[in-house]
Amino acid sequence: MLNTRTRNPAVGFFSRRIAGLGQEDRTRRGASRGKLQDSWVGAYLAAHRWSLLGTLSQFRRMPYSTILTCVALAISLAFPAVLMALLQNAHRVAAQWDGGAQISLFLKADTSEAQAEKLADSLRTQRDIARIEYISKQRGLEEFKANSGLGDALSLLSDNPLPPVLVVHPKDTRANPAAIEKLAKSLQSNALVDIAQWDMQWLQRLHALLSVAERAVWVIGALLLVAALVVVGNTIRLAVQNNAQQIKVTKLIGASDGFVRRPFLYAGLIYGTVGGVLALLLVASVLWGLTEPVRSVAQAYNSNFALQGLGLGYSAVVITAGVTLGLVGAWVSVGRHLRAIEP
């Protein structure tokens, strides 16, 4: 076959042309190389196409490992993400309650109306106070009469027993209950104030609990991410070992470590991306499953609270975490195992 081919005049002509090219190439190697590589985009694409094909063939050869790795990654990402989403919702609930945070200043009973007004005015200028509501002795009595149902009994009293009250609405209540406490304590020290009451301790405890839960989510998340890293690393290790022969051949032909590494990094990248997207789907379906029960609980409390999803920011975090895990897992694993495979 070879003989007939080389005897074919057309082929012979072509061969001579190749031969000529070869000669020219050897004598002007540097120059002609440069010319051939001037379109680095084309060369870059050719090399990456090759690497991607390698990745895909790697997936084809180990489909179960591929799927399992993606699923393991997805679950490791989804679990902390679901917890984080629930925490976010808990924060929203707490924030609704925070909105009602206020400090009641019960002034001393002998405070005159003018003194009370003056204090209110001076407090209004304070930066951490949004609004002051002044409830005079008289108005307090009227409201009490109207709301308590004890109106008739109260009218029997000769004197108004209620103190004047200033209701302080702090700014920025949701940010930080500690700030409210500090404000209340400073108000308490005023000579006119008898008692400063802020019924916020339970809210404070809730916030403390939420921050413990948040810390727990981060720890669980970190542990799961380490697990995901190990899973990715192990899959890549298997892929490297399965490809030992190909790696040897490629190295013999003059491939750099970077070239040999690239299909595996692609694999890590794909694991990470697919795992991240799967994780978001998982999170969405879990939250969707919780929507109805949460709504009925909210309704029982006369609230129209509805569960919210992860949001764009955290979704981006999940995807980024997936991609990073995939890449880092692949990088570390390939780095460790590639060196062992030399022709």
**What are the residues binding another protein (CB under 8 A)?**
1-3, 5-6, 11, 14-15, 18-19, 21-23, 25-26, 36-37, 39-40, 42-47, 50, 53, 57, 61, 245-246, 248-257, 259, 342-343
User: Cβ closer to another protein: 109 or 249?
Assistant: 249
Task: Count CB atoms within 10 A of the CB of residue 110.
Answer: 9
Identify any residues that bridge with 165 across adjacent strands, giving them in sequence order: 106, 135
Cβ pair 293, 240 in contact under 8 A:
no
- How would you class 194 by CB atoms within 10 Å of its CB: exposed for 0-12, middle for 13-18, buried for 19 or more? middle
SS3 at position 117: helix
Residue 275 CB, shortest distance to another protein, in Å, is 25
User: Cβ closer to another protein: 16 or 124?
Assistant: 16
Amino acid at 291: T
First vs last C-alpha separation in the chain:
33
Residue 246 CB, shortest distance to another protein, in Å, is 5
User: Cβ closer to another protein: 246 or 273?
Assistant: 246
Residue 211 CB, shortest distance to another protein, in Å, is 50
- How would you class 271 by CB atoms within 10 Å of its CB: exposed for 0-12, middle for 13-18, buried for 19 or more? buried
User: Cβ closer to another protein: 21 or 109?
Assistant: 21
**What is the maximum span of the chain, computed from C-alpha positions, in angstroms?**
131
User: Cβ closer to another protein: 47 or 208?
Assistant: 47
Residue 3 CB, shortest distance to another protein, in Å, is 7
**What is the rounded distance in angstroms from the CA atom of residue 150 to the CA atom of residue 43?**
90
User: Cβ closer to another protein: 34 or 100?
Assistant: 34
User: Cβ closer to another protein: 11 or 31?
Assistant: 11
Cα 294 versus chain centre, distance: 23
Cβ pair 240, 264 in contact under 8 A:
yes
Residue 73 CB, shortest distance to another protein, in Å, is 25
Q: Give the angle 277-283-318 at the CA atoms, nearest 5°.
A: 50
Residue 334 CB, shortest distance to another protein, in Å, is 16
Whole-angstrom CA distances from 229 to 125, 275, 328 are 55, 12, 8
Q: Pull the structure tokens for residue 341.
A: 């495979």
Residue 272 CB, shortest distance to another protein, in Å, is 24
